[in-house]
Amino acid sequence: MNEKISLIAQRILEGDKNIVFTGAGISTESGIPDYRSKGGIWDKFRPVYFDEFMSSKNARIEYWRRKAELYHDLVQAKPNPAHMSLVKFYEMGLLEAVITQNIDGLHQEFGLPDEKVIELHGNTRRVRCMSCGKTISIHEAQKRIEAGDLAPECECGGYMKSDTISFGQAMPADEVEKAIDLSRKCDFFLVVGSTLLVHPAALMPSYAKQSGAFLAIVNLSQTPYDERCDVLIRGKAGEVLQEIVNTIRDLL
Ligand code: NAD
């Protein structure tokens, strides 16, 4: 383990363009469950598909019931050492960008500037009208739900939906393009807490590897890239990233 940590630390120091790719696993230590682990969100809920959301009031009520249930995890989330380590990389000038599948907005909440975070699946802290595009905060939507408005609508009559990508909904083209470009141009690519099963997000490590980048993975369970990466650490994101930061400090 120590050798692997040292190798990653060394590569981060040498890297001109270091990319970190994060998934739900970086936020579990902040109290937000992931999807695919035992006890994760898929054990509790089936997803509401985008066409169901747009065509059925019952589906919208169900969608918002689940969002309301997860709201409390979101507002109570505490910074964990994995998020804070990425802030340290940034402060040391060692981070080109974070590409994230996460919708929790925690990278920015905990200190990374907006422009350093590419959100491939949107941000649940924003709620958007599906007709006119107006946005409100998740807190305002939550207040309305708690007051009995079970599937909030906009003044224009449009359906209000979390500004995140549901199954069957188009990906944000600009973010995907930016993420591909960053992945192709980086020299170091670190995956933290992702099953790497959701496409097209999961193609980013491939783009990086094909362009000759060093690929490292820190994840508790198996990924399809385990055989192809340069270093694999089967460990908890918080502990491992904290150790990487400490090792970088020792090397400086
Ligand atoms: P996933 O749920 O498919 O996989 C999470 C991975 O993280 C698993 O392999 C698990 O073993 C690992 N993991 C869990 N805790 C860990 C820890 N402390 N340290 C290291 N590894 C840990 O998540 P995914 O690959 O990000 O894909 C799921 C989709 O779900 C994404 O599209 C994302 O938008 C969405 N999602 C987001 C959040 C969030 O924003 N926090 C939470 C759940 C799901």
Domain boundaries, the chain: 1-32+77-121+171-252, 33-74+123-164
Q: By alpha-carbon position, which residue is closest to atom 22 of ligand 1?
A: 25
Could you tell me the two tokens for 69? 């249930």
pLDDT of residue 40: 61
**pLDDT tens-place string over residues 98-152:** 999 999 999 999 999 999 999 999 999 999 999 999 999 999 999 999 999 999 9
Measure the CA–CA gap between 86 and 98, rounded to whole angstroms: 8
Query: Is the shortest distance between the CB of 74 and ligand 1 below 6 Å?
Result: no
Q: How far is the CA of 246 from the centre of ligand 1 (A)?
A: 25
1-32+77-121+171-252 and 33-74+123-164 share one fold? no
Looking at 18-22, 65-69, 143-147, 166-170, which range is the least confident one? 65-69
Q: What percent of the chain has pLDDT over 90?
A: 91
Residue 22 has pLDDT above 80, yes or no: yes
HSE of 13 in the Cβ direction (CA atoms, 13 Å)?
15
> Cα separations (Å) of 219 from 157, 188, 233?
43, 17, 7
Q: What is the average per-residue pLDDT within 178-207? A: 97
Q: Are 125 and 164 in contact (CB under 8 A)?
A: no
pTM of the model: 0.95
Give the residue numbers annotated as catalytic, written as ranges: 121
Q: Is the pLDDT of residue 187 over 90?
A: yes
Q: What's the confidence (pLDDT) of residue 35?
A: 80
Q: Domain 1-32+77-121+171-252 is classified in which CATH homologous superfamily?
A: TPP-binding domain (3.40.50.1220)
Q: Which atom of ligand 1 is nearest to the CA of 165?
A: 34
Residue 95 confidence (pLDDT) above 70: yes
pLDDT digits (tens, 9 = 90+) for 23-70: 999 999 999 988 876 666 666 678 899 999 999 999 999 999 999 988
> What's the CATH number for 33-74+123-164?
3.30.1600.10
User: What is the C-alpha separation between 201 and 205, in angstroms, rounded?
Assistant: 9
